[in-house]
Structure 1
Amino acid sequence: MDTGTHIVMGFAIGGLASLDPVVAGSHATTIGVMIATLVGSQAPDIDTVLKLKNNAIYIRNHRGITHSIPAVLLWPLLIIAVLYPFIPEANLLHLWLWTFLAVFLHVFVDIFNAYGTQALRPFSSKWVALGFINTFDPIIFIIHIIGLFLWAFGADPGYTFLGVYIVLADYYFLRYFAQRRVKKKVLGIIPDAKTIILSPTMRYSHWRVAAMTDSSFYVGRAHNYQIEIYDKYHRIPIPETPELNAARQDKNLSAFLSFSPVYRWEVQEFEDMYQVRFIDLRYRSNGHYPFVAVVHLDKNYQIITSYTGWIFSEEKLQKKLDILTN
């Protein structure tokens, strides 16, 4: 989920903790839980700072080790180790339990996005991405805000947020069944689809569609369970050519390939260089595919420059590559 949603979830879990008699009966524990759940709801996303390094490192590592099983166990201990000396009167066990819940829910809700997490590490490095909740879901955010307003105006926080999470559990089930229905509709149009990837948008009834058969890629959109296919591409295996073999050694392209399951590629030869471009097919927006990896090679197949990330126009991409070259 996005940062804003994780923040309101941190407040919500702190409010929910008032149902715990140990928390409700201790001012120190209440204060500690409120601080710890707010920090715990954000802690796994500390890897966002990797974006300051470069996109390749960020793509490879975001929602990786910081969202893993060991991290879910360690984050509460680290948070409490810093916090507890300032509130030694707090009940340590209950402080840990609610902090753990905040961290766990952060990782848990992230698996429902199309991006997903490596939540099964160290047992598996597979990305777990169920893909039926958008990274920012307005309904989830608004329901939390309503709960916070009710709390601010005197409603019991424990029962308020218990109600909020019962409603949200029902909402998640609705989204799951909506995704299943869209997949059935896609199979009705593309019956030989081997893989169907649906990416939810901020609009409840809109989904991005990427499907793969043995021979083709299909890209489209679902609106109110009506499927429209925009583009079809032939699946062409990556050949063993000097320019593609060289480009695949690049850190940006390597990061892209580790993350993207559905893509097409193209090679252009210019007077003084080759351009190798890989294009993720999951995020088509306004006729444009914004998530790409591009590598420029000289005529001796040496990497000149490269880039991976979100670019929403060809002009901006070329400017980015020119900056990196210089």
Structure 2
Amino acid sequence: MDTGTHVVMGISLGGLALLDPAVSADPHMAHAVMIATIAGSQAPDIDTVLKLKNNAVYIRNHRGFTHSIPAVLFWSLLIPAVIFPFVPGANLLHLWLWTLLAVVLHVFVDIFNAYGTQAIRPFSKKWVALGIINTFDPFIFFTHLVAIVVWAIGGHPGFTFITLYAVIFCYYIVRVIMQLQIKRQLRARFDEIEEIIISPTMKFRQWRIAVKCKSSFHVGRSMNGEVVILDTFNRVPVPDTEIMKIAKQDENISAFLSFSPVYRWEVDKYKDHYEVRFIDLRYRSKGHYPFVAICHIDMDHQIKNSYTGWIFSEEKLQKKLRLGSV
């Protein structure tokens, strides 16, 4: 989820914690738990700073180790350890439990996005991405805001936040059912499906669709319960050529391939260089595929420059390559 949603989730957990007698009986403890739940709801996303280095490092690592099982345990111990010296009378066990819940909730809700997390590390580095909830879901964000306002104006925190989580739970069930209905339509429409990737959008009844079949890729949308296929591509294996082998060694291309489950490729030869391009098919927007990885290789088979990330115009992409973006 986005940062704002994680913040309101942390606040709501801090309010829910007032149902715990160990928290509600002591104002200092209540303040400590509120700080801990907000911090715990943000801690796993500390890896966002990797974007300051470059897109390749960010793509390969964001929501990776910081969302893993060891990291969840680490955050849940570190945050109370930092807070406790300032509130020595706090109940350390309950402070840890509420912090742990905040961190676990952060990782859990991120699993439902299309981006996903490596939540089952160290047992597997597989990305778990269910594609049920958009990274920013207006319903989830604003229902949290409403609950927080109700609490602020005097509403009972227990009833308020239990009601909130009951509503959110039902919302998730509805979204799961909607996604299953889309998959059912796709399986009835296409043969030899190997993988269906569905990405939610901010609009409740619109979903992005990418279907990987044995010999083709199909890209489309589900709008108001109806599946519309917008593009179809032949599925051509990545060739085992010298140029492609060199491209795969590039940091940006390698990061893209480690992250993208469905893509097509292009190789073009120009006067003084080759251009290798990989295009992620999950994020079609206004007829354009903005998430790409591109590499230029000179005639001596040396990598000149490369880039991976979100680009919404060819002009901007070529500008980044000229600037030597990596």
Shorter-chain TM band: over 0.9
- Where does residue 289 of structure 2 map in the other structure? 289
Shift of 1:317: 0.6
Pairing 1:7–2:7 present: yes
How far apart are the structure 2 equivalents of 1:224 and 1:201? 12
1:211-290 pair list within 5 angstroms: 211-290=211-290
- Where does residue 121 of structure 1 map in the other structure? 121
What's the RMSD between the two structures over aligned residues? Answer: 1.0
The C-alpha deviation readout for 1:26-55, integer Å capped at 9, x for no partner, is 122101101000100000000000000001
Shift of 1:123: 0.5
How far apart are the structure 2 equivalents of 1:125 and 1:81? 29
How far apart are the structure 1 equivalents of 2:125 and 2:159? 38
Shift of 1:151: 1.0
Residue type of the partner of 1:241? Answer: T
- Where does residue 193 of structure 2 map in the other structure? 193
- Where does residue 314 of structure 1 map in the other structure? 314
Asked if the contact 1:304–1:325 (Cα under 8 Å) also holds between the matched residues in 2, the reply is no
How far apart are the structure 2 equivalents of 1:283 and 1:299? 33
Residue type of the partner of 2:263? Answer: Y
Corresponding pairs, count: 326
Shift of 1:190: 1.4
The C-alpha deviation readout for 1:135-180, integer Å capped at 9, x for no partner, is 1000000100110110111101222111100110011010001000
From the superposition, tell whether residues 325 and 123 of structure 1 become closer, same or farther in structure 2 (CA, over 3 Å): closer
Pairing 1:39–2:39 present: yes
Pairing 1:28–2:28 present: yes
- Where does residue 139 of structure 1 map in the other structure? 139
How far apart are the structure 2 equivalents of 1:191 and 1:26? 62
| TM-score, structure 1 normalization | 0.98
How far apart are the structure 2 equivalents of 1:325 and 1:16? 46
How far apart are the structure 2 equivalents of 1:296 and 1:282? 24
Residue type of the partner of 1:138? Answer: P
- Where does residue 81 of structure 1 map in the other structure? 81
Asked if the contact 2:291–2:310 (Cα under 8 Å) also holds between the matched residues in 1, the reply is yes
Asked if the contact 2:194–2:213 (Cα under 8 Å) also holds between the matched residues in 1, the reply is yes
| TM-score, structure 2 normalization | 0.98
* Unmatched segments (≥5 aa) in structure 2: none
Residue type of the partner of 1:195? Answer: E
Q: Residue 194 of structure 1: SS of its match in structure 2?
A: strand
Percent identity at matched positions?
A: 62
Asked if the contact 2:205–2:224 (Cα under 8 Å) also holds between the matched residues in 1, the reply is yes
- TM superposition outliers: structure 1 runs of 4+ over 6 Å: none
How far apart are the structure 2 equivalents of 1:130 and 1:156? 34
Residue type of the partner of 2:161? Answer: F
Shift of 1:188: 2.1
How far apart are the structure 1 equivalents of 2:300 and 2:184? 49
Shift of 1:325: 6.4
Asked if the contact 1:218–1:232 (Cα under 8 Å) also holds between the matched residues in 2, the reply is yes
How far apart are the structure 2 equivalents of 1:214 and 1:97? 47
Q: Residue 173 of structure 2: SS of its match in structure 1?
A: helix
- Where does residue 174 of structure 2 map in the other structure? 174
More divergent stretch after superposition (74-83 vs 197-206): 74-83
How far apart are the structure 2 equivalents of 1:305 and 1:325? 7
How far apart are the structure 2 equivalents of 1:325 and 1:223? 37
How far apart are the structure 2 equivalents of 1:107 and 1:5? 13
More divergent stretch after superposition (232-241 vs 280-289): 232-241
More divergent stretch after superposition (242-251 vs 183-192): 183-192
How far apart are the structure 1 equivalents of 2:48 and 2:325? 25
How far apart are the structure 1 equivalents of 2:177 and 2:190? 20
Shift of 1:112: 0.4
Q: Residue 4 of structure 1: SS of its match in structure 2?
A: helix
- Where does residue 105 of structure 1 map in the other structure? 105
From the superposition, tell whether residues 105 and 325 of structure 1 become closer, same or farther in structure 2 (CA, over 3 Å): closer
How far apart are the structure 2 equivalents of 1:325 and 1:206? 34
Shift of 1:187: 1.7
How far apart are the structure 1 equivalents of 2:106 and 2:303? 39
